[in-house]
Amino acid sequence: MCGIVGIYLKSKKFEKSLGGMLSKMLVSMESRGPDSAGFAIYNSDKNKIYKYSICLNGMSFEKFKKEIKNKVKITNIEKNSDHVILKSIEKPNKIIPILEDFSTISLVGYGKSIEIFKQVGSPSKIVKKFNLDNFSGTHAIGHTRMATESAITTDGSHPYSTGEDECLVHNGSLSNHNNLRRKLKKNGSKFSSDNDTEVAAGYISDSLKKRNLKQTLNKGLNELDGFYTFIAGTHSGFAVLRDEIACKPAVIAETKDYVAISSEFQAMAHLPNVNNAKIFEPEPGIVYSWEK
């Protein structure tokens, strides 16, 4: 099943309350996905600092902090439950190999604006655990998972991020992910799980090197086989795509201040002024995107 949610702010009015808005959306999608939950929140610092979102997987924060400080220049390091946001001016091609040398931790996302948190457990526990209500930002994407094709683990939780400031959440399942994974690996993509969505995220990252997000998703219609509603995020916004059979639901609410998307309307019922929003279902096989 799974639940997906997203908010893109068109004005600055709700930037401070973005976390709170997303938090309620995630909790109301608990019935669609009680196994694990996660969210990606974009908050542009407008400087050259990279943010690395890391899941400690049981490693102690103090130990990690001590070890990483010996290896790279760090601007700031902050713990949030079992996740860490590490800020550094060092470029990803330098830092990622260093992080990969740690056997326990996993890098769940990186970029100049994205922060990702995801963990096993019910959405209501996850949003409290990471204090999502206190986050601000420009746009955000979330997911509640009912595991079907791979195990209930942090690695199996969404969002998946396979490129700088990129992320993907998915409701559905893909049938050609093994073939596609092999192809992408040959081209140099790396995967950390057996999950089908991670392959779709890798596909999108690979394609984004040559195309924009809208073109990428249009191309994906022919190459990603299965059923899906996707929300794909980048530093500048997000895009939504449903497969052409449209088995998986999605509803969009648009006002002058924001665009919200979720699997079911009830996830948006609490949003400000939603009863005057333009509410519609994204049509199958059509890419909808909102970008700054």
270 part of the interface to another protein, by CB under 8 A: yes
Nearest to 160 by CA among 209, 122, 199: 199
> Can residue 45 be called a binding residue for another protein (CB under 8 A)?
no
Our finding on whether 251 is near another protein (CB under 8 A) is yes
Does 265 help bind another protein (rule: CB under 8 A)? Answer: yes
Q: Retrieve residue 238's tokens.
A: 């997000």
Give the single-character DSSP code of 274.
G
Residue 132: name the closest of 146, 119, 151, 145 by CA.
119
CA 210 to chain centre: 21
Q: Which of 89, 283, 286, 292 binds another protein (CB under 8 A)?
A: 283
CB of residue 275 vs another protein: minimum separation in angstroms? 7
Q: Would you state the structure tokens that stand for residue 121, as one six-digit string?
A: 């457990």
Cα 292 to Cα 284: distance, rounded to the nearest angstrom:
24
Tell me which of 47, 280, 286, 292 binds another protein, using CB under 8 A. 280
Please tell me whether residue 222 binds another protein under the rule CB under 8 A.
Answer: no
- Candidate residues 249, 257, 272, 291; the one interacting with another protein per rule CB under 8 A: 249
Strand 278-280 vs strand 258-262: parallel, antiparallel, or unpaired? unpaired
Which CB, 28 or 234, lies closer to another protein?
Answer: 28
- The DSSP secondary-structure symbol of 15 reads G
267 binds another protein (CB under 8 A): yes
CB 146 within 8 A of CB 2: yes
Determine, following the binding rule CB under 8 A, whether residue 269 of this chain makes contact with another protein. Answer: yes
Q: Cα–Cα distance between 263 and 25 in angstroms, integer?
A: 10
**Is-catalytic flag, 2?**
yes
Closest approach, Cβ 249 to another protein, in A, equals 7
- What character string, x for contact with another protein (CB under 8 A) and - otherwise, covers 227-246? -------------------x
Alpha-carbon torsion angle 228, 292, 86, 40, nearest 10: -30
Catalytic residue of the set 2, 55, 167, 247: 2
CB of 263: closest distance to another protein in angstroms?
10
Query: 3-state class of 217 per DSSP?
Result: helix
108 binds another protein (CB under 8 A): no
Nearest distance, CB of residue 246 and another protein, angstroms: 6
Asked if 268 touches another protein (CB under 8 A), the answer is yes
CB of 229 to another protein, least distance (A): 13
Asked if 199 and 184 count as a contact pair (C-beta separation under 8 A), the reply is yes
Number of H helices, E strands in the chain: 7, 15
Point out which span in 8-16, 155-163, 197-205, 269-277 binds another protein (CB under 8 A): 269-277
Rama region for 129: left / alpha / beta (φ>0; ψ in -120 to 50; rest): alpha
Residue closer to another protein by CB (options 2, 168) is 2
Binders of another protein in range 200-219 (CB under 8 A): none
Whose tokens are 């050609």? That residue is 176
Active site residues: 2
Binding residues (CB under 8 A) for another protein: these are 246, 249, 251, 264-270, 275, 279-281, 283-284
